[in-house]
A and B are shown apart, each in its own frame.
Chain A
Amino acid sequence: MPRLLSRTPTSSPALRIAGIRISSFTNNNNNKSRSYATHPPKARLNLPTDFSTTALLHHSAKSAQADPELGPALRDGSTSRLNLFQAINSALASALRSDPNVLLFGEDVAFGGVFRCSMNLASEFGDERVFNTPLSEQGIVGFAIGAAMEGAKAVAEVQFADYVYPAFDQLVNEAAKIRYRAGVNADKQGCGGLVVRMPTGVVGHGALYHSQSPEALFTHIPGLRVVIPRSPSQAKGLLLAAIKSPDPVIFMEPKILYRAAVEHVPASDYELPLSKAQVLRSGKDLTIVSYGTPLYTCLDAIAHAEKDFGCSVELIDLRTIYPWDRPTVLESVNKTGRAIVVHESMVNAGVGAEVAASIQEHCFLRLESPVQRVAGWSTHTGLMFERFNIPDVVRVYDAIKKGLEY
């Protein structure tokens, strides 16, 4: 499959010319200057997220250490400022270091990966444990499942979530069902050691095949855990938990955050719980449920809405998209009486449909307005139309307004 975008400078460090890889990677500097993504001069709402000030990231060591979820043991430990790909790299390194059964492989993983997530790991841990595979997604995932079935902790990379479909059979019919069908042999013959990592989501110019968010296709599959982190510290804790998890995990990394999101990340190992949502800010009038990149959009929209409408909005990060933390979401909506679900992927049969239906079923008497879904439209990500397609600040702001005025 063509991987055109992986060779473009803003999203990827690597260029491939006549089979020779040339690294154009310089450093993890925040790259916000895209000539083709500027905002209109009078825009008030749809401004680019300022990752250097957003409240969703730890801008000081103190803030990271004070995070109650990271545990008291990290309170006095050191932290370093990492972006998302560096945090993933740090998690992979510590997993490889702490367990000889951990393997890391996929297309172009050995030289560091097209997004730099596996930088220096092959040289530190050897090419027996960190290696390139042939270009075949069904092969990568099938291979990973088999290695996990013999006790390895197989961390497989699919270069873009858009290319996971050739491996769909292996994930849906095999990985998800092996434990169940093995019955009494499950503990010895399951594939719980499996983690399939894949960059996901829009990146500004990824068009049809470097933008997709196929998580809803996996949330329909009992047996898989589907995880999407929103920040570097979260990515590290959730990835380490995914590698330890006795169930196979689909780990989707928002690629637009690889370099953009930078924060203080504790240096030592820690895990964040799977299937547990996080209430990012509490409010009393409306609940917004989201995950991954749109959380930053939601936060910006909430700031404007609270100022303009004098409301208070609760924001929940699902983190694990399936099996998801229903009680946290339902408790919140039962308190606020209004809900909006926000995600980048298409609205039709998306994660929002499941969340909205569950809210309707369990919070019916408390609802004061219809549950709204702010999501990608039911179309593909055409190159020039991305900014009109994804949930932006205006659309979330407008949904809050509609919910309050209903």
Chain B
Amino acid sequence: MPTYRILDQDGNIADKSREAPAVSDEELLKMYNDMLTVSIMDLIMFDAQRQGKISFYMVSAGEEGIAVGSAAALDPRDPIYAQYRETGIFQHRGFSLADFMNQLFANKHDPGLGRNMPVHYGSSKLNIHTISSPLATQLPQASGAAYAVKQQNAQNPMDDPRIVVAYFGEGAASEGDFHAALNIAATRGCPVVFICRNNGYAISTPTLEQYRGDGIASRGIGYGIDTIRVDGNDILAVREVTARARKLALQDGGKPVLIEAMSYRVSHHSTSDDSFAYRAKVEVEDWKRRDNPITRLRKWIEAKGLWDENKEKEARSRLRKQVLEAFKAAEREKKPALSNMMGGVYSRLTEEQEAQTDAVRGIIEKYPDEYDVSEFEGGLNSLKLEEARKA
């Protein structure tokens, strides 16, 4: 299946016979700023993990364009189900640097209340569901979510209709849930756009060991799903393809669309991975130098006179400063109250959990030198039943 692109690697319109896409200067600059922010935060937080400041991190280097470009084409009310390498969506929808840092440090302002690993962001205000580690589980959920949204669209015809968007990597597409999700989305006419980030690797496994067909896109056809493959390093192409997919998803009473965005995972899989154990450093350096969604858009906006070397330097130094400020502020905050360990599993504490809350508190009171509760909001007090029940 051919790959759709608008800009070539030098930031010029690839098909000279077509016009430049209509994207406002303001939006171009926002997309560029969002990618740059994610990329600078990634560098700083990757190092922070290496220094033991946070327990884990995953960068999205090389794939910033897929997240930001697709998010730019969506309605902010469209619910999103992401995998974990889509930080640019959160950035584009308005997650602040403080929001990122609170989650990464699992402090008392972390919306996940200190329960999730770093990078498992979530926000009901921004209509992005909390990331979970099991791969591809979000895909059939997105189909069901889209079905519920379709019902709501029908019940509220005066509102702008919504779709649901699900992101996943090409490795996750080998899970049974991928198959289940696309099939049920097609048979039930669900307005959902599936966006696959095909970055060549699932941890150490290259795509040659992941599948033998024509990537992920070729599978969409088999499910009866309109499908397109796009150059994931071309943010304008990703944006345009997603905007068209969104329209298509709302046609004929609702239907799914599959987008396969081709890219390359420039980074290690995570902070727990050294990718040079399974791929040559020269291959990575080559990709970094040859093509990258950030430099490609930079060339385009420089050609339009919207950007230059000075602005680049100023933006980089400003963003770096802002990330570090948010970093330091989040690091200083207390951890969430201990009541959040047991609370929140059910809509209220069970009788068994109340007894166990008493037991935890009893143990800590009996062996006070063995536990440090001072870094947690409210200390041991939050394990008193009347407090614990509020969690």
Contact = CB atoms under 8 A, between A and B. Distances in A.
Interface of A: 100-101, 103, 128, 131, 133-134, 136, 138-152, 154, 166, 169-170, 173-174, 177-186, 188-189, 192, 222-223, 225, 246-247, 275, 323, 325-327
How many B residues are at the interface, by size bracket? 35 or more
Contact of A142 (B110, B137, B353): B137
Contacts of B145: 146-147, 149-150
Given A136-B176, A139-B180, 15 more contacts: A100-B155, A133-B188, A134-B183, A142-B140, A145-B140, A152-B151, A154-B148, A170-B177, A182-B112, A183-B115, A183-B344, A184-B111, A185-B124, A188-B124, A326-B352
B172 to A, nearest CB: 13
B125 to A, nearest CB: 8
Contacts of A222: 345-346
Interface of B: 79, 81, 110-113, 115-116, 120, 122-124, 129-130, 132, 134, 137, 139-149, 151-152, 155, 164, 176-177, 179-181, 183-184, 187-188, 340, 344-347, 350-353
A108 to B, nearest CB: 14
Contact of A145 (B116, B144, B146, B351): B144
The A interface, classified by DSSP as helix, strand, loop or mixed, is helix
B349 to A, nearest CB: 10
Contact of A185 (B123, B149, B181, B187): B123
Contact of B144 (A143, A179, A182): A143
Contact of A138 (B123, B164, B176, B351): B176
B149 A150 contact: yes
Contacts of B140: 138-139, 141-143, 145-146, 170
A223 B142 CA distance: 21
A144 B144 contact: yes
Contacts of B347: 179, 192, 246-247
Contact of B345 (A141, A151, A173, A180): A180
Contact of A146 (B111, B130, B142, B152): B142
A188 B126 CA distance: 12
Nearest first, the 10 closest Cβ-Cβ pairs linking A and B are A142-B140, A139-B180, A146-B144, A146-B141, A143-B144, A146-B145, A150-B148, A183-B113, A147-B144, A188-B124
B144 A154 contact: yes
Contact of B141 (A142, A192, A325, A326): A142
B184 A134 contact: yes
A166 B113 CA distance: 30
B88 to A, nearest CB: 20
Given A142-B180, A179-B345, A189 B352 contact: no
A181 B141 contact: no
Contact of A180 (B147, B344, B352): B344
Contacts of A177: 132
A34 B123 CA distance: 57
Given A131-B188, A170-B137, A181 B130 contact: yes
B143 A143 contact: yes
B52 to A, nearest CB: 24
B346 A247 contact: yes
A60 B346 CA distance: 38
A223 B351 CA distance: 14
B262 to A, nearest CB: 27
23 contacts: A134-B183, A139-B179, A139-B181, A140-B184, A142-B180, A143-B181, A149-B141, A151-B148, A152-B144, A170-B140, A174-B134, A180-B345, A181-B120, A182-B122, A182-B129, A183-B122, A183-B130, A183-B340, A184-B111, A185-B130, A189-B122, A323-B351, A326-B352
A183 B144 contact: no
B184 A133 contact: yes
Contact of B111 (A147, A151, A183, A323): A183
| Of B112, B140, B164, B344, most A-chain CB atoms within 10 Å | B140
Contacts of A185: 111, 122-124, 130
A142 to B, nearest CB: 3
A188 B350 CA distance: 21
Contacts of A184: 111, 113
B157 to A, nearest CB: 15
Given A142-B139, A145-B141, A181-B130, A186 B148 contact: no
Among B120, B346, B350, the most chain A Cβ lie within 10 Å of the Cβ of B346
Most A-side CB within 10 Å, residue of B130, B143, B146: B130
B79 to A, nearest CB: 6
Contacts of A128: 151
Contacts of B124: 182, 185, 188-189
A149 B123 CA distance: 13
Given A142-B177, A142-B181, A150-B145, A326 B129 contact: no
A180 B110 CA distance: 13
B311 to A, nearest CB: 36
A287 to B, nearest CB: 19
Contacts of A149: 79, 129, 141, 144-145, 148
A153 to B, nearest CB: 10
Nearest to A325: B351
Contacts of B113: 183-184
Given A179-B345, A182-B122, A174 B110 contact: no
Contacts of B149: 150
Nearest to B113: A183
B120 A133 contact: no
Nearest to B190: A143
A236 to B, nearest CB: 23
Contacts of A142: 137, 139-141, 143-144, 177, 180-181
Most central of A145, A182, A275 by chain B CB within 10 Å: A182
B346 A179 contact: yes
